[in-house]
Structure 1
Amino acid sequence: MANLEDAPTAPPVRRTLRVSRKETRLGTTLALLAWIFAVYDYIMFGTLLPEIRTEYGWSEGTATGIATAISVGTMVVVLGVGPLVDKIGRRRGMMVTVGGTALASGLTALTMNPAYLIGVRSIAGLGIAEQSVNATYLNEIYAATEDDKIKKNRGFAYAVVQSGWPIGVFLAAGFVALLLPLVGWRGVFALATLPAIALVLLRRKLKESPQFTIIEQARALEKQGDKVAADSLLNTYGLRHENGAPLRAIFAPMFRRNTILLSVVWFFNFFGVTTFTALGTTLLTSGKGIPFSLSLLVFMVANIGGFLGYLTFGAIGQRFGRRGAAGVGFIIACFFYTGMLLWAEGTVSIMVLYALGQFFMAGPFACLMFFMGESYSTDCRGTGTTFLNAIGQPGSIAAGAIITAMLVSGYDWTVTAMVVGVTGVFLSGVAMLCCKVMPQLDDFGAGHAAHGPVA
């Protein structure tokens, strides 16, 4: 990925590793498209699960059990992506994640029984890991880019990529409504493989991040028995590399605090995601008495709020710091959700407060994801970001169990959403504010010296 410039012909050979403007923008664009289609597949399954359930005659309990088992399988798959990306590289890892999305969609179209569906949809965890792999890759290329505009506004640039979530939600809802009457749920899944396959082919044009290129060369030197040269190369570029399990590395003393606190952030924030996003239409219909058809409109407007939140918080985080922007944003969201639950009565007031809540809860993820990439060194960055991403799955499972238990016990949706959703988002905000402040990655490559060719 780098443009290499030779210095005078005397050892060590001096080279600079830079990412061109064209390569930076290509990587950013493909990351956005890949995340859109990963979200598209994720939301599409949740939307079509009732259709699958109807065709096979599954009970509601069976469908819920399948969804829970898929969440567990998804978590296992996501946990495996990080070490893989730190081993084979960001470029190959990005091809694996988008390829997994295509595979999951295509195989879902062939569903024949619950066990098969659980296994196939667990593969879709590769798509869920997409945002973590994107954060890893973009953190590194933005630190080495020749594109001064993106370098100075890297938080906002990543926010544009992260805004693929609401775009994916809109596309999923729109295409399901359009295609389901024409081709059925199996056809909808089959057609979803086409854009994902196209992205796999396009991603072959991406080049590896320069940081991982250095790590890879150092590993090669170590395998040749030249550890002195490997250490010299790493020291020259200010990188580190430890042999051993990457999962152990993210709990090393220098990373432990943020790994633990960010795990708390993800676990409890998914109490809010489950309550206000995954079960958003149920909350609106059962909790606020809005008709289902109107609830879809309210939900879409709320997602527009989330989209604007991504862009806004990307800029705020770049200017004032990502940790504080994310933590304060989550806490502010609690006030708007509380207003929606306790005081809003008419459709307009519910819609406005819901959209503002989504603005302040979804938007901070633009800061959170990039902050996660800044919290780890190159040798374990992929593992750290995907590990944290995976923690959202047990959070979702726990939230679903608590919501079910409260509703069965006679609590209404208002009380349940306050206890689970609002409390969870508030705790995630507090945990975020307790994280160690991390500087953005230094400008990488300019003027560094490397021993031997680095390509």
Structure 2
Amino acid sequence: MREVNASEVVGNSKFGRFHLMVFLWCLFAITFDGFDIAMYGVGLPLMMEEWNLTPVEAGGIASYSLFGMMVGALIFAPLADKIGRKKVLAICIGIFSVFTLLSSFAPNPAFFSVLRFIAALGMGGLMPNVISLMAEYSPKKNKVLIVTAMYCGYSIGSILASLIGMYVMEQLSWRVLYWIGALPLLALPFFMKQFPESLSYYVIRKQGAKIAGILNRIDPDGDYKESDDYEFAKVQERAKGFPVKKLFENKRTLSTFAFWVAAFNCLLMVYGLNTWLPKIMQQSGYGLTSSLSFNLISGIGQIGGSIIGGYLVGKIGHRRVLVSLCAIGTVCFVILGLTSN
């Protein structure tokens, strides 16, 4: 019986049809996740008119959604270790699709807020799991670029929401965005049939046949068998303990808090822009279509930053890329707050 490290097999593989299939499904999922997150800000100007919302009320609804995303991430990320990431992704897609559709029929802000909060549970749970799966199934040589290219789906979703808002929404109302946001529900049967489960999930449960099936698709020349030892004992030993606690072991406390602070500020900026930029530009004298074009440009910039940053990581390292992009973002947002043109 030979010993096989499944992670090394994936890491040393070449990008092929299997990787492309995982990439496209992850891209699809995160695109609609980004679309569903962005559409609230895109539809907000018309929603405020229809329901006579004050800025405080509109901001409150946005906050409920973001709180729901946080709760969803806290619930579904650890749940994936119990039932598998594939099942959790399917649950998350189902939740945000169904409740996004129901949100389109909300008769008042109160009903809308409740439905939007529940939809946000799925949005928040999807993102960490889809990133984790894409990272797990990416060849080591191009892992960062593949994951960042997949993450561009978030920005693509934002761009699609902006385009629909610019050219369709005024004729059909803001609710059309929520009808489109429910489309992933139709793809769920195909997702369940084609998408693979996490390899680590199978290794921990000693499901050799499942592991061999996936590895043979990734590396057809490997001839992997159910009887192979996929380092079951080693993986189970590493999996013991409370996952969050491990973030503070081996002198990682400072770097963990640094990442949390950076992520908090980046998300504050991204969600703040997605929610309020169109309305701010409308109040500055621009028409609705012109106001939404600023969201469009923001999404295009995000794609450029993701791909360029992912490429540069392989050349100059993560730290330099992160610090440089944060510095550029800081300077640009200060100038953005001062400009009048």
Partner AA of 2:326 in structure 1:
F
Q: What whole-Å deviation, never above 9, does each CA across 1:36-57 have from its counterpart, x for those lacking one?
A: 1111111112222443444444
Q: Paired residue for 2:264?
A: 267
Q: Compute the displacement of 1:114 (Å).
A: 3.7
Corresponding residue to 1:155 among 131, 135, 144 = 144
Q: Compute the displacement of 1:83 (Å).
A: 0.8
Q: Paired residue for 1:25?
A: 20
- Alpha-carbon distance between aligned partners in 2 of 1:285 and 1:180, rounded to the nearest angstrom: 15
Residue pair 2:204, 2:236 contacting (<8 A) in 1 also: no
Corresponding residue to 1:332 among 325, 328, 331 = 328
Is 1:97 matched with 2:88?
Answer: no
Q: Paired residue for 1:199?
A: 187
Partner AA of 2:70 in structure 1:
M
Corresponding residue to 2:310 among 295, 314, 323 = 314
Aligned length: 311
SS in 2 for 1:163: helix
Q: Paired residue for 1:414?
A: none
Q: Compute the displacement of 1:169 (Å).
A: 1.3
Q: Compute the displacement of 1:161 (Å).
A: 0.8
Partner AA of 1:127 in structure 2:
M
Is 1:116 matched with 2:107?
Answer: no
Q: Paired residue for 1:133?
A: 129
Residue pair 1:179, 1:188 contacting (<8 A) in 2 also: no
- Alpha-carbon distance between aligned partners in 2 of 1:291 and 1:271, rounded to the nearest angstrom: 24
Corresponding residue to 2:76 among 64, 78, 81 = 81
Q: Paired residue for 2:238?
A: 240
TM-score (norm 1): 0.60
Q: Compute the displacement of 1:212 (Å).
A: 2.3
Q: What whole-Å deviation, never above 9, does each CA across 1:246-276 have from its counterpart, x for those lacking one?
A: 4445455565444322211122223433555
Q: Paired residue for 2:165?
A: 176
- Alpha-carbon distance between aligned partners in 2 of 1:283 and 1:129, rounded to the nearest angstrom: 29
Partner AA of 2:142 in structure 1:
N
- Percent identity between the two aligned chains: 21
Structure 1 residues 116, 252: CA separation in 2 closer, same or farther (over 3 Å shift)? farther
Structure 1 residues 270, 190: CA separation in 2 closer, same or farther (over 3 Å shift)? closer
Residue pair 1:214, 1:234 contacting (<8 A) in 2 also: no
Moved more, 100-109 or 177-186: 177-186
- Alpha-carbon distance between aligned partners in 2 of 1:63 and 1:203, rounded to the nearest angstrom: 35
Q: Compute the displacement of 1:299 (Å).
A: 4.1
Structure 1 residues 206, 270: CA separation in 2 closer, same or farther (over 3 Å shift)? closer
Q: Paired residue for 2:225?
A: none
Q: Paired residue for 1:323?
A: 319
Structure 1 residues 275, 57: CA separation in 2 closer, same or farther (over 3 Å shift)? closer
Structure 1 residues 339, 55: CA separation in 2 closer, same or farther (over 3 Å shift)? closer
Structure 1 residues 176, 295: CA separation in 2 closer, same or farther (over 3 Å shift)? closer
Q: How does 1:241-390 map to 2 (within 5 A)?
A: 241-243=239-241, 245-252=242-249, 256-274=253-271, 276-282=273-279, 284=281, 291-292=286-287, 294-342=290-338, 346=341
- Alpha-carbon distance between aligned partners in 1 of 2:190 and 2:251, rounded to the nearest angstrom: 37
Structure 1 residues 127, 13: CA separation in 2 closer, same or farther (over 3 Å shift)? same
SS in 2 for 1:208: coil
Structure 1 residues 249, 200: CA separation in 2 closer, same or farther (over 3 Å shift)? farther
Q: How does 1:420-431 map to 2 (within 5 A)?
A: none
Q: Paired residue for 2:198?
A: 209
- Alpha-carbon distance between aligned partners in 1 of 2:134 and 2:237, rounded to the nearest angstrom: 17
Q: Compute the displacement of 1:309 (Å).
A: 1.1
Partner AA of 2:182 in structure 1:
T
Partner AA of 2:320 in structure 1:
G
SS in 2 for 1:110: coil
Residue pair 1:30, 1:199 contacting (<8 A) in 2 also: no
Partner AA of 2:256 in structure 1:
T
